[in-house]
Each structure stands twice: as structure tokens, then as C-alpha cells.
């Protein structure tokens, strides 16, 4: 099923890229066809009434709408607005400026990435709706949206920001066809469509070298294309190492690398651990041991069996160094939620069989350390995502439900280091200056 032509040279008698892509994309339309529960903790074991009574004495701010979330939505919406108004020159300049300046939100999300997402979001959502429901939304013609973005490549032939908008559109639609999980039982039609969109994105980006343009956004896009490669493991580590060299302060790249090195994707736990050590050595002057924790971070939430291979003391050292490098409340919530989830798994999996008996106490001690020394407020969405794995998205579960779930899990978890005091009637008060335990 040949969906896109690979010959897109603009020679005499050869139509433009958008003209070639359109019939194939229309043919895709003919193919339309019609959380795990948190584990019981020591705290809930005392009974629901006791749990609620104790929580009334746990005084910790709950920040359900952080400044970072507000900023992220604002930047995405601005990218969407500029695309809807066809203010392409302004959009291009903003994406380029943010990318070159390595500008991020307070929690490290690249502003260029958010602008790119907003710019393509209308077209991608229309495609996702059509794939989910078997037909486009009422009044929507997402094929013309794809065509309109493809035309940008002709109007801005030397613009890497515009190339990124169109390439990411194809990557997103490719995943919409295939599904975002690492499963093999994908129908041939869906797999072919996925491959076609990824091939198209690859062709768009092949003339833009990330190092030449000094662009983390281009390098990240090359990494995003790897699932469409025949043998992605051959280049995966090299591509991610290049990305991390271009943007070493952003741990999101390390987290993505670890996820792709899972057995369900392209690697195994031995390879993952080796690469975590390599990245930690390469970034030691910035992160200390932090990169070891960041490379393992998402991988352990997605597949906790990796705990068998991970060196737990090195991981806890990495958590400590990462928080020393960046100790904001977003990072503190990330680490606390991760250690709690990992400890719960290790306790149930390894607590009774004698294998890796070092894991549960080490993870529990690490969790207690993060809560006592770093955590000063709860970000519910982070805890909700930790329960389902950060590779998932809130498209599956509404933000409201995810936030409510995260709030309950976080309060239950954060109370645990202070359990004896709470049971004795103490009030535990969190503030930016520290934690105060007030006797009755």
C-alpha cells in the first residue's frame, strides 16, 4: 500500500509535495472502520474512618493548577491561534527563537515544542476524531487541513520551524492510526498508514541537520521518527545522545530514551542500565548521578520488572543529585510519586521471596527523604500520571478524574512518613520553610 511517493524533486512535470501527498491521504480515509488500581498502603490498612481522621491533621497545600500548567496552555493556545490566523511568519519566528534559546516552562517543557503542538493541533484532532468515530467531525474536513499544512513546505521551502510543524503533524496522525502502545497486533492497514505518515515526516526533515541548525527541536523530531525505522535500535542511542548534547539541561530527553530501551520497544534492561550509566557519565558535571535516575524514570513506571536490573543505591543517589540540581516542587512531586509507586511494586513483588530484598527498604527510605527534605505542596496531576505511567496521556482519562485520583494517592502516601505522629494526635504542617509537627 504505497501512500506517499518518495520522489518529490521539483523538476519539470513533477507536481509539488502537497499534490502528491493528497491523493494518498484521501485513500487513507477509505480505510476508516467503524487503570490499574493503586495498591493498598500501610495507611489505608487502618480503615477508612481512621484514614480520614488522620488526613484532617495533614496540612499540605494542594496545587491543582500550577503556574507551569497555565503557562503551557497559554503557549499552546498561542501557537494554535497563530496557525488559525495564518500568521505563519510570526509563528515561525517564535518557534525558531524559543528553540535557539532553549526556552522552557518552569518545569522544563520546551516552548518550541508547545508552539509546534498548538500549530498542528486542529488538524491532528480532526484526524483522531475521524479514526475514532469512523468519520470526520461534523463540518470538519481534516484532509484539507493536511493539505493546507503541506502547502507551507512550498511557501517556506527553507524554514525548519515550518518543516517541524508539518512533520510532527504526520507523526501524530501516524500514531493515531497505529495506537501509542508497543503492541505487535496492529492491523495491516493501520500499520501501513502509520509507516506512510512516518516516511512522509522523514522525507520532510531529511534536509535539516540538527547540529547545523543548533536545534534541539530538530534533534527531538529525529528521535520521534525512530519507531518508523526498520531497525531503530541501530541508531536510537546515537540520536538520543546527540539530542542530550544539544540540550543537556532538559531531563525529558533522558526519560524518553529509557522508555524506548524497554523490552516492549527496542531494547532490554541490561542495555537500558548501560545507557543510563553512559548518560550519567557524559552529564556528570551538570547532573551528578541524576541522569541515571532520569533514564530509568519512565521505564520503571511502565515496566517495574526493571527494578531487578536497576542499581537502587545509584538510583537514589541520582534522585538526590537531580533534586539538588533542580529542587522545584514539580521535580519534588515527580520523584516522590515515582519512588512511592516503585516502592509499592517492590514491596509486593520482592518483599516475601527474598530476591532483591534490598529494594523495598531503599525505595521507602528514598521516598521518605524526598517528602521530608523537598516536598512542600502536592501536584495531583503528577501523582495521577505516576499511577498509570507517564507514557499515557490525559486523553484517556480526563484531567479532572486524573487530578482527583492523584490527590487521593498523594495524601495517602505523604502521610506515611509521619504515621506515628499522626496516630498520636499530632498535626503535620507543610510550608515553604519546612515541616512542623505540632503536638496535641
What's the pLDDT at 64? 86
What's the pLDDT at 37? 42
- Output the nine-digit C-alpha cell for 393: 496521556
For the chain, the average pLDDT equals 85
DSSP letters along 356-425, please?
TTTHHHHHHHHHHHHHHHT--SB-HHHHHHHHH-TTS-TTTS-HHHHHHHHHHHHHHHHHGGGHHHHHTT
Residue 352, class by beta-carbon neighbours within 10 Å (0-12 exposed, 13-18 middle, 19+ buried)? exposed
CA 32 to chain centre: 28
The string of pLDDT tens digits covering residues 278-293 is 999 999 999 999 999 9
**Which of the 8 DSSP states describes residue 180?**
S
What's the pLDDT at 31? 40
Would you kindly state where each structural domain of the chain is located, as residue ranges? 1-30+70-230
Give the residue, 50 or 242, on which the prediction is more confident: 242
The string of pLDDT tens digits covering residues 361-383 is 999 999 999 999 999 999 999 99
Residue 287, class by beta-carbon neighbours within 10 Å (0-12 exposed, 13-18 middle, 19+ buried)? buried
Given pLDDT bands bounded at 50, 70 and 90, which one contains residue 137? low
| 427-431 and 434-438 strand pairing | antiparallel
Cα(51)–Cα(61) distance, integer angstroms: 18
The string of pLDDT tens digits covering residues 76-98 is 999 999 999 999 999 999 999 99
pLDDT value at 340 more than 60: yes
pLDDT value at 191 more than 70: yes
Cα(94)–Cα(62) distance, integer angstroms: 33
Q: What is the mean pLDDT of residues 93-110?
A: 94
Least confident of 37-41, 178-182, 244-248: 37-41
Amino acid at each position: 500500500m504505497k501512500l506517499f511517493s518518495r520522489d518529490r524533486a521539483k523538476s519539470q512535470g513533477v507536481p509539488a509535495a502537497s499534490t502528491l501527498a493528497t491523493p494518498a491521504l484521501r485513500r487513507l480515509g477509505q480505510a476508516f472502520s467503524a487503570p490499574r488500581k493503586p495498591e493498598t498502603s500501610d495507611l489505608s490498612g487502618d480503615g477508612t474512618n481512621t484514614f480520614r481522621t488522620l488526613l484532617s491533621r495533614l496540612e499540605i497545600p494542594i496545587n491543582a493548577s500550577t503556574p507551569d500548567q497555565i503557562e503551557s496552555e497559554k503557549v499552546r493556545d498561542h501557537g494554535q491561534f497563530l496557525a488559525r490566523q495564518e500568521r505563519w511568519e510570526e509563528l515561525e519566528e517564535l518557534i525558531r527563537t524559543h528553540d535557539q534559546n532553549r526556552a522552557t516552562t518552569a518545569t522544563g517543557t520546551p516552548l518550541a515544542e508547545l508552539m509546534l503542538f498548538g500549530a498542528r493541533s486542529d488538524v491532528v484532532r480532526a484526524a483522531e476524531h475521524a479514526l475514532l468515530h469512523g468519520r470526520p467531525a461534523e463540518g470538519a474536513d481534516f484532509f484539507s487541513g493536511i493539505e493546507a499544512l503541506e502547502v507551507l513546505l512550498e511557501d517556506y521551502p527553507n524554514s525548519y520551524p515550518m518543516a517541524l510543524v508539518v512533520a510532527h503533524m504526520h507523526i501524530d496522525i501516524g500514531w493515531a492510526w497505529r495506537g501509542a502502545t508497543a503492541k505487535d497486533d496492529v492491523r495491516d492497514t493501520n500499520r501501513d498508514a502509520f509507516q506512510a505518515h512516518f516516511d512522509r515526516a522523514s522525507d520532510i526533515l531529511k534536509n535539516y541537520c540538527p547540529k547545523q541548525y543548533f536545534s534541539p527541536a530538530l534533534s527531538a523530531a529525529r528521535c520521534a521518527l525512530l519507531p518508523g525505522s526498520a531497525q531503530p535500535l541501530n541508531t536510537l542511542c546515537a540520536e538520543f545522545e546527540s539530542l542530550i548534547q544539544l540540550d543537556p539541561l532538559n531531563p525529558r530527553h533522558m526519560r524518553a530514551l529509557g522508555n524506548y530501551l524497554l523490552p516492549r520497544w527496542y531494547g532490554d534492561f541490561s542495555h537500558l542500565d548501560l545507557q543510563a550509566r553512559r548518560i550519567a557519565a557524559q552529564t556528570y558535571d551538570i547532573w551528578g548521578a541524576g541522569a541515571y535516575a532520569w533514564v530509568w524514570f519512565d521505564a520503571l513506571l511502565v515496566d517495574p520488572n526493571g527494578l531487578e536490573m536497576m542499581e537502587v543505591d545509584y538510583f537514589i543517589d541520582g534522585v538526590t543529585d537531580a533534586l539538588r540540581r533542580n529542587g522545584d516542587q514539580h521535580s519534588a512531586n515527580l520523584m516522590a510519586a515515582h519512588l512511592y509507586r516503585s516502592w509499592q511494586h517492590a514491596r509486593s513483588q520482592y518483599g516475601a521471596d527474598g530476591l532483591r530484598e534490598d529494594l523495598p527498604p531503599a525505595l521507602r527510605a528514598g521516598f521518605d527523604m524526598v517528602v521530608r527534605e523537598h516536598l512542600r505542596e502536592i501536584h495531583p496531576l503528577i501523582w495521577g500520571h505516576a499511577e498509570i505511567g507517564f507514557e499515557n496521556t490525559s486523553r484517556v482519562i480526563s484531567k479532572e478524574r486524573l487530578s482527583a485520583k492523584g490527590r487521593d494517592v498523594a495524601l495517602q502516601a505523604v502521610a506515611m512518613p509521619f504515621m506515628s505522629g499522626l496516630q498520636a494526635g499530632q498535626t503535620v504542617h507543610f510550608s515553604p520553610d519546612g515541616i512542623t509537627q505540632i503536638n496535641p
